[in-house]
């Protein structure tokens, strides 16, 4: 009598890990249930027990990124400083996954970590003087702006191969530098920075600073 080999147990968290690795390297379009089934040596039907379709799997990726947001503890600092810290925590969780950052947007008001972040953000905005409705709108647009900041990271949008990336950046710099300086004196003089930020950390710090400064500016105008 031939003994049956026990069915391989599938850990959905490990499937999400694998999908995250593929999506980071190749983009969400490269993630398929069939490909993941092959990696985990199971049939596609085994995956369907945990994820009803690819959209469900991508939602799980969005949830994973939100779960990685480490919110700072409430403090006695001014509301805008605490808000800056919350938005920084969100961006920090997304920075390593620029191709997937936009997967978090539809999950913020669905996944528990996203709801916690939304509630905290609105608490700080209302503490600053916004009405609840305005806090909702300002919070939504701020999050959208920061997701765009990550997805448009100039370095992350380049090829992952260092040589290919540097060749691409060199061509872009040369194209700007070749413009007539009399007509575009500032563009040509800042060609390097326009193509590639001098510091990735500074790129994100400035983006968050601009969002918080904009929020304070809107509040000042309303008052």
- Structure confidence at residue 1 (pLDDT): 37
d(Cα 182, Cα 102) in Å, to the nearest integer? 40
- Structure confidence at residue 159 (pLDDT): 66
Residue scoring higher pLDDT (77 or 170): 77
Q: Tens of pLDDT along 104-162?
A: 999 999 999 999 999 999 999 999 999 999 999 999 999 999 999 999 988 877 767 77
pLDDT band (50, 70, 90) for residue 222:
confident
Residue scoring higher pLDDT (195 or 134): 134
- Structure confidence at residue 155 (pLDDT): 80
Other C-beta atoms closer than 10 Å to the C-beta of 105 total 14
Distances (CA, A) of 52 to 11, 12, 44, 109, 187: 15, 12, 11, 20, 50
pLDDT band (50, 70, 90) for residue 71:
very high
Helices (H), 152-197: 162-177, 185-189, 191-195
- The two three-digit tokens of residue 174, written as one number: 């040369």
pTM over 0.75: yes
d(Cα 176, Cα 208) in Å, to the nearest integer? 27
Q: Would you say residue 219 has pLDDT above 50?
A: yes
| Helix, strand, or coil (residue 97) | coil
- Structure confidence at residue 123 (pLDDT): 97
Q: Tens of pLDDT along 23-54?
A: 998 899 999 999 999 999 898 888 888 999 99
Contact indicator for 47, 15 with CB cutoff of 8 Å: yes
pLDDT band (50, 70, 90) for residue 223:
low
- Structure confidence at residue 8 (pLDDT): 60
Q: Tens of pLDDT along 16-25?
A: 999 999 999 8
Q: Would you say residue 6 has pLDDT above 70?
A: no
């Amino acid at each position: 009598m031939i003994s049956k080999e026990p069915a391989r147990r599938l850990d959905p968290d490990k499937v999400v890990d694998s999908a995250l690795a593929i999506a980071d390297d190749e983009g969400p379009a490269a993630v398929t249930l069939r490909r993941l089934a092959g990696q985990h040596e199971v049939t596609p039907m085994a995956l369907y027990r945990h994820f009803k379709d690819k959209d469900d799997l991508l939602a799980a990726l969005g949830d994973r990124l939100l779960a990685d947001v480490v919110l700072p503890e409430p403090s006695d600092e001014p509301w805008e400083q605490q808000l800056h810290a919350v938005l920084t925590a969100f961006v920090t969780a997304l920075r390593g996954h620029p191709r997937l950052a936009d997967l978090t947007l539809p999950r913020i008001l669905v996944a528990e970590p996203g709801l916690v972040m939304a509630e905290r953000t609105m608490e700080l905005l209302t503490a600053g003087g916004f009405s609840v409705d305005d806090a909702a709108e300002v919070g939504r647009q701020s999050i959208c702006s920061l997701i765009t900041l990550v997805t448009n990271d100039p370095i992350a949008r380049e090829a992952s191969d260092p040589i290919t990336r540097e060749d691409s950046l060199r061509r872009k710099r040369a194209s700007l530098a070749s413009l007539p300086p009399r007509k575009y004196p500032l563009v040509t003089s800042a060609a390097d920075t326009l193509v590639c930020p001098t510091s990735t950390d500074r790129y994100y710090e400035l983006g968050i600073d601009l969002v918080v400064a904009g929020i304070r500016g809107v509040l000042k105008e309303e008052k």
